[in-house]
C-alpha cells in the first residue's frame, strides 16, 4: 500500500511539473519588410513559403539560418500595371493579387509541386480574371519552374476574391479546394454586380474542388452542391438576388418598367419618367418590400436607382 501511495505521488508531482507551468514562447524575427505577404505555409522541406500579393513573388525562408530566396517572380504574368503605384484617380487593384499557395502533400516524396492562385488579367472596371497553376520546384536551382495552368477562367474582382487553397484526401484521392468569393456583389463599388453565389452554373461564391486523381488535369466541381436559397419571388427575402436586382424587379412590379430598361444610374424622373405621385407611391412600396422606414428628406435626396440601392444597403446593414 505504501509503495502504491509513493508511486501515485511521484506521478502527481511529475504531472504538475509538466502541465502546471505556463507555456513559454520566444520570438525571433526571421525576416522583416516583406511586401504585402498573403499566404504563409510551412513545407515538409522545413522551410516557410510566402506569397507577396502585390509584387507577385514567392519567397522561401529557412527558419534556422533566416536565409531568404525568391523562388518565383510572377510579375511578368500580370497582364496589367501596378495601379496602386500609379498617380491616377481610378486604381482598380484586385483584392489579393498573388493569393493562395499550397505545397503538394507529397512534396518531399517525388511530387515537388507548388500550387498558386493569382489574378492575371484586368478585363474592365472591377472585373478581373484569376488563374490556378502548379509549378515544379527545382531543388538544384531553388526555383519554381514549368507552370502548368489548371484553370484560367476563374472570375476575379477588386473585392471578395477569396483565393485560399487547401488539400484534402478522400478514398485515396487528393482534392485541391479553392475558396472563391462572391466578387463583392451588391456592395460599395460592386453594388450593381449580380450575385451568382447560388447559381450552380457559375463559379462565384463557391468552394471549387479540383480532382487530381488524373494529374495534371483537374475536374471542376463546386462544393457544396446545394440548390439555390429561396424560391424566387420579388421580395427582400430572396437571398439569391442582389439589392440591385430586387429594386429592378420592384420597379417592374410597381411601375411596369421592364428590367432591361432600368440601369444602375437611371434617374427616376429624367430616365424612368416618374412623376411626383409615382415617386411617393414607389417609395411606399420600397418601405413595405424591404421593411424599412424612409424619411421625406431621404426620399428627396434619392434620385437614382444607385442612390436607392445604397440607401437600402445602409438601412438593412
By DSSP bridging, strand 162-170 and strand 173-180 are antiparallel
Q: How many CB atoms lie within 10 A of CB 248?
A: 24
Helix (H) or strand (E) holding 210: strand 207-211
Contact 40, 102 (CB under 8 A): no
Q: Which three cell numbers stand for residue 312?
A: 437600402
Helix, strand, coil percentages for the chain (3-state, nearest 5): 25, 30, 45
Q: What is the four-CA torsion angle of 207, 211, 212, 216, rounded to 10 degrees?
A: -90
Contact 302, 311 (CB under 8 A): yes
Contact 95, 78 (CB under 8 A): no
Candidates 192, 189, 194; CA nearest to 91 is 189
User: Does the annotation count 62 as an active-site position?
Assistant: no
Candidates 131, 168, 175, 170; CA nearest to 153 is 131
Q: Which three cell numbers stand for residue 37?
A: 505577404
Q: Which of 275, 278, 285, 296 is catalytic?
A: 275
Q: Which three cell numbers stand for residue 69?
A: 530566396
Residues with a catalytic annotation lie at: 275
Amino acid at each position: 500500500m505504501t509503495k502504491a501511495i509513493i508511486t501515485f505521488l511521484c506521478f502527481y508531482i511529475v504531472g504538475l511539473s509538466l502541465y502546471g507551468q505556463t507555456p513559454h514562447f520566444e520570438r525571433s524575427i526571421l525576416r522583416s519588410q516583406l511586401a504585402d505577404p498573403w499566404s504563409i505555409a510551412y513545407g515538409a522541406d522545413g522551410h516557410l513559403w510566402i506569397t507577396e500579393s502585390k509584387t507577385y513573388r514567392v519567397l522561401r525562408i529557412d527558419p534556422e539560418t533566416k536565409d531568404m530566396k525568391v523562388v518565383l517572380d510572377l510579375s511578368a504574368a500580370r497582364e496589367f500595371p501596378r495601379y496602386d503605384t500609379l498617380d491616377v484617380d481610378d486604381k482598380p487593384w484586385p483584392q489579393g493579387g498573388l493569393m493562395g499557395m499550397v505545397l503538394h502533400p507529397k512534396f518531399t516524396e517525388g511530387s515537388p509541386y507548388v500550387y498558386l492562385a493569382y489574378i492575371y488579367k484586368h478585363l474592365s472596371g472591377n472585373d478581373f480574371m484569376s488563374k490556378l497553376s502548379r509549378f515544379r520546384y527545382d531543388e538544384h536551382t531553388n526555383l519554381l519552374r514549368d507552370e502548368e495552368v489548371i484553370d484560367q477562367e476563374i472570375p476575379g474582382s477588386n473585392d471578395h476574391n477569396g483565393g485560399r487553397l487547401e488539400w484534402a484526401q478522400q478514398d485515396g484521392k487528393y482534392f485541391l479546394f479553392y475558396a472563391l468569393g462572391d466578387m463583392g456583389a451588391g456592395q460599395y463599388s460592386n453594388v450593381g454586380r449580380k450575385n451568382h453565389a447560388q447559381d450552380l452554373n457559375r463559379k462565384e461564391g463557391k468552394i471549387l474542388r479540383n480532382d487530381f486523381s488524373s494529374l495534371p488535369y483537374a475536374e471542376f466541381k463546386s462544393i457544396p452542391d446545394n440548390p439555390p436559397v429561396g424560391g424566387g419571388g420579388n421580395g427582400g427575402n430572396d437571398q439569391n438576388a442582389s439589392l440591385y436586382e430586387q429594386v429592378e424587379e420592384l420597379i417592374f412590379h410597381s411601375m411596369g418598367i421592364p428590367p432591361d430598361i432600368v440601369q444602375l444610374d437611371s434617374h427616376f424622373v429624367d430616365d424612368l419618367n416618374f412623376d411626383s405621385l409615382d415617386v411617393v407611391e414607389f417609395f411606399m412600396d420600397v418601405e413595405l418590400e424591404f421593411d424599412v422606414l424612409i424619411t421625406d428628406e431621404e426620399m428627396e435626396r434619392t434620385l437614382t436607382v444607385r442612390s436607392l440601392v445604397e440607401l437600402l444597403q445602409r438601412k438593412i446593414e
